[in-house]
Structure 1
Amino acid sequence: MKISQSELKQLQDKGLFRAQDAMPTLLPSASTIPAGALAYISREAVEAITKERSGDRALGGSKKLLNWEQEAAFIPFVEKTGQVTPYSDKGNPLLSGLNASFNQFNHYRFTTKYFVGDLESKQYTAANIDYVATMQRAATEAIAIELNRVAFEGFIDNSSNSYLCYGLLNNPALPNYEVADKTFAGATWEEVLGIFATAITKLTEATGNNINGDSKIRCVISASAYATLKSKFTQLGISLAESLEKAYPGLYFVSSSELDKANANANVMYLIGESEAGGIGDTTQLGYSEIALMGNVVTNDYGYSQSVSAGTIGAVVLKPSFIVRYSGI
């Protein structure tokens, strides 16, 4: 059975093809298959589309940093110290050493559950819908959506009304926003290139040239601002995105809708330098304990259920000086 244009429009009107922050609810939770529908139903099912999730890519990847039972992760930050004096056979050289601090990242655990009913399972199977697999995907997608949200926004503990963990957009370790003079849409192509040149210069100065125009730089950017970079051209007919990638060979873009109007209703971008300076290659990470911890299968008279859980410490910023962020782009 093919979907006609009019039927497709009806699906769109219900929001099936609109980006959504959370799992959509399009029908009453107790909805059943309409009478007569079991005569023939196509094997092709149109699933609701949720917003593309970019948190993992925005933070440069995810890493297991603690176990499920642990309440927090403690990550050491080490500073090397040392001084020299002129040499003398009878002199007493000054000592070199280190200073260490341990930053605490608190653990946010969350969970969801799916239930497989005997009757529903038979009905949906007769309707050519893979009922069990779809229920499992619904649970794991709910987990993925929350992990992505925390990557950008963190999590506020309701009991204390304070952040249990932070996201990329509100991490207190980050420097203040630089403010662009003009949005990319309202600026000339020369002005846009100038914003990037200034930003990379700031990175070079802040990192003591560990990050410069030749370094690998992750540009996490508002999706609408990135669209402007792709559609605005230089006098040679080259898009700004391509021009920037040629000027800075290590620069690459991560387009993110979470950065649209993310700071006081203004679009933002983050330039995140990547190098092995400091003894670690990662500047930021999405820290987690479990991605999809499956609970016990619980059976009852008419079906079974299973929980799916995850844990995260949010956005871990390891090298704040390797990040420059701009608002108003």
Structure 2
Amino acid sequence: MKISQSELRQLQDKGLFRFRDATPTLTVANSTIPAGALAYISREAVEAITKDRSGDRALGGSKKLLNWEQEAAFIPFIEKTGQVTPYSDKGNPLLSGLNASFNQFNHYRFSAKYFVGELESQQYRAANIDYVAAMQRAAAEAIAIELNRVAFEGFIDNSANTYLCYGLLNNPSLPNYEVAAKTFAASDWQEVMSVFATAIAKLTENTGNNINGDSKIRCVISASAYATLKSKFTQLGISLAEALEKAYQGLYFVSSAEFDKANANGNVMYLIGESEAGGIGDTTQLGYSEIALMGNVVQSDYGYSQALSAGTIGAVVLKPSFVVRYSGV
């Protein structure tokens, strides 16, 4: 049955039907949206970027050379002695022997610490940040940065104002710098190739041909100078870096930001020969006692803390004659 408009009005007046022009408002109208209601916090976080750490690669690797409690490491250097005399049935040949010396490398220990607070931990968790893991990484990264710094620069004992251990850039056992006539950026490709040819010839002479153009050679080079090698091309259209690796099959590069302007404001480059000559394969290495020694967890009223420690004897140069270094590249 169809109800007319007049009949519908009479029913509404009696309270049987109630109609509104819009949905009823049950609460006070919002003038603004609550803070954070339209925000999303990602579970991925961008961390501050630190300089690339190349100390371990520059030194050809790291090796445990002493224990945490020891004050120094001593590495023997043995020189074999012997000579011949003409044979005679009644002759008395000269005796062969050896001379031994012990190179001392002092121990530098250092620590970093983190603290986890209960309130901060809960607040960061609400922001999707793994607070505990971030704090642990912060301490571990501080340790890694210092190990890398010592690999290049060593460590000065402030109380005695002397080097406790040395780095690759200031090791007193290394030969003096050769000075490049021009920077790689200012040189043409033939001039750069000539610098490498001269450097490898020096290695061959200094090592009695134990290192030569066919040997494995680690070229630790300024990051900006290496960028030049990658961007400067030969007449065949290949980069200088590739041309050098083809000319010297055992040559490989380690790019290092620490070598930028490292000597008299000039970029530097080290050519380090690698072979088993001398009874050991390593020419240089980063010596350590501990990389990340974990201390005790210490509980406090509202959280806990823990320290991480490491120890190093810096850059160990075992075969100085296997290194040629250039400044001003």
Q: Structure 1 length as normaliser, TM-score?
A: 0.88
User: What's the CA shift string for 1:254-273, capped at 9, x where partnerless?
Assistant: 00000000001000000000
| Distance in 1 between residues matched to 2:52 and 2:328, nearest whole Å | 23
Q: Report the more deviating stretch, 193-202 or 85-94.
A: 85-94
Look up the SS of the partner of 1:307 in the other structure: strand
- In structure 2, how many angstroms separate the alpha carbons of the residues matched to 1:36 and 1:180? 62
Distance 1:232 1:41 in 2: 45
Does residue 84 of the first structure (1) align with residue 77 of the second (2)? no
Q: Does 1:70 align with 2:70?
A: yes
Verify: 1:115 aligned to 2:115, yes or no.
yes
CA distance in 1, matches of 2:43, 2:242: 42
For residue 314 of structure 1, report the CA deviation from its aligned partner.
Answer: 0.1
1:70-123 CA distances to partner (integer Å, 9 max, x unpaired)?
000000011111100011111110011111100000000000100000001111
Aligned equivalent of 2:216: 216
Query: Is 1:150 the equivalent of 2:150?
Result: yes
Contact 1:68/1:289, CA 8 A, preserved across alignment: yes
* Structure 2: distance between partners of 1:216 and 1:36: 62
Structure 2: distance between partners of 1:85 and 1:36: 96
Structure 1 residue 40 displacement after superposition = 3.7
Q: Deviation digits for residues 251-291 of structure 1, max 9, x if unmatched?
A: 00000000000001000000000000000000000000000
Aligned to 1:58: 58
Task: Give the structure 2 partner of residue 172 of structure 1.
Answer: 172
Q: Distance in 1 between matches of 2:105 and 2:166?
A: 9
RMSD: 1.1
Q: Deviations along 1:122-165, whole A, 9 cap, x unmatched? A: 11111100111110000000000000000000000000001000
> 2:278 aligns to what SS in structure 1?
helix
Contact persistence 1:40–1:127 (CA under 8 A): no
Amino acid aligned to 1:219: C
SS in 2 for 1:293: strand
Partner of 1:267: 267
TM-score under structure 2 normalisation? 0.88
2: CA distance between counterparts of 1:99 and 1:153? 31
Letter in 1 for 2:49: I
Paired residue for 1:276? 276
User: CA offset at residue 37 of structure 1?
Assistant: 5.7
Change beyond 3 A, Cα 1:101–1:37: farther
1:318 is matched with 318
Question: Is 2:290 the counterpart of 1:290?
Answer: yes
Secondary structure, aligned partner of 1:279: coil
Question: Which letter does structure 1 place at the counterpart of 2:86?
Answer: P
- Tell me the CA shift for residue 57 of structure 1: 0.1
**SS of the residue aligned with 2:66?**
coil
Q: Supply the distance in 1 between the matched residues of 2:230 and 2:289 (Cα, whole angstroms).
A: 37
Q: Distance in 1 between matches of 2:215 and 2:44?
A: 46
1:202 aligned counterpart, secondary structure: helix
The 1:37/1:48 distance shift into structure 2, 3 A limit, reads farther
Identity %: 87
* Aligned ranges 1:250-265 → 2 under 5 Å: 250-265=250-265
1:15 aligned partner: none
1:36 Cα deviation after fit: 5.1
1:184-199 superposed matches below 5 A: 184-199=184-199
C-alpha spacing 1:185/1:91, structure 2 compared with 1 (3 Å): same
Q: Which moved more, 1:123-132 or 1:248-257?
A: 123-132
Change (3 A) 1:81 1:237: same
Conserved? CA contact 1:269–1:325, under 8 Å: yes
The whole-number CA distance in structure 2 between the counterparts of 1:227 and 1:324 is 21
What residue in structure 2 maps to residue 182 of structure 1?
A: 182
Write the distance in 1 (CA, Å) between the matches of 2:35 and 2:311.
Answer: 44
AA aligned opposite 1:179: V
Unaligned runs of 5+ in 2: 1-33
Q: How far 1:180 sits from its partner (Å)? A: 0.4
User: Could you tell me whether the CA contact under 8 Å between 1:107 and 1:164 is conserved in 2?
Assistant: yes
One-letter amino acid of the counterpart of residue 292, structure 2: A
Alpha-carbon distance change, 42 to 246 in structure 1, aligned in 2, over 3 angstroms: same
Q: Which runs of 5+ in 1 are unaligned?
A: 1-34
Q: Supply the AA of the counterpart residue of 1:288.
A: Y
C-alpha separation in 2, matches of 1:80 and 1:129: 61
Number of the residue aligned with 2:47 = 47
The one-letter amino acid paired with 2:71 is E
Q: SS in structure 1 opposite 2:169? A: coil
Q: Distance in 1 between matches of 2:270 and 2:36?
A: 51
